[in-house]
């Protein structure tokens, strides 16, 4: 059996690391607030909007403000996957494309995640300290989502 040296492994890993720098994932550079965003059907006070922009939109809208290190691979790939997953879970930019039942469910999840300090993610707030929610901001967001939930009419034809 052939013995592989540590030096060869380091060289191969180095070549892979250099080559992966030429790959760039698609950026999330759309418009956060557009024709299908949540502000068209629900009232969003300025203070709540500021919280959402600061703590939520990078992963839960069609626009992300990328940090400098997002251009370094594989970090950029990891961020792109993370953003795609966040948008699949809840996309404020596409909220009005959701059926009423799904809108209500997403607002319920928002309340639950914020109450349990699951959102914003700690992996995000480590670097984005301004995204950490104070108790007052969390309560403001929870109260807004609860009231928005109550205003979404249930339509028996909505199954999504």
**Whole-structure pTM value:** 0.85
What are the residue ranges spanned by the domains of the chain? Answer: 6-151
| Cβ-based neighbour number of residue 76 at 10 Å | 19
8 A C-beta contact, residue 152 and residue 124: no
Close Cβ partners of 123 (under 8 Å, ≥ 6 residues apart) = none
The tens-digit pLDDT sequence of the chain (160 residues) is: 677 788 888 998 888 888 888 888 889 999 899 999 999 889 999 999 999 999 999 999 999 999 999 999 999 999 999 999 999 999 999 999 999 999 999 999 999 999 999 999 999 999 899 999 999 999 999 999 999 999 998 864 544 4
């Amino acid at each position: 059996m052939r013995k592989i040296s540590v030096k060869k492994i380091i060289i191969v890993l180095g070549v892979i690391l250099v080559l992966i720098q030429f790959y760039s994932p698609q950026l999330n550079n759309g418009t956060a607030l557009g024709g299908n965003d949540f502000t068209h059907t629900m009232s969003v006070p300025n203070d709540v909007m500021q919280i959402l922009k600061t703590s939520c939109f990078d992963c839960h809208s069609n626009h992300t403000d990328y940090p400098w290190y997002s251009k370094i691979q594989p970090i950029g790939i990891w961020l792109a996957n993370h953003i795609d997953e966040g948008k699949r879970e809840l996309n404020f930019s596409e909220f009005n494309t959701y059926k009423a039942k799904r809108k209500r469910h997403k607002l319920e999840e928002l309340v639950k995640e914020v109450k349990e300090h699951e959102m914003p993610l700690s992996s995000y707030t480590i670097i984005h300290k301004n995204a950490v929610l104070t108790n007052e901001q969390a309560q403001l967001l929870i109260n807004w989502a609860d009231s928005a939930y109550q205003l979404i009419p249930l339509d028996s034809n909505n199954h999504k």
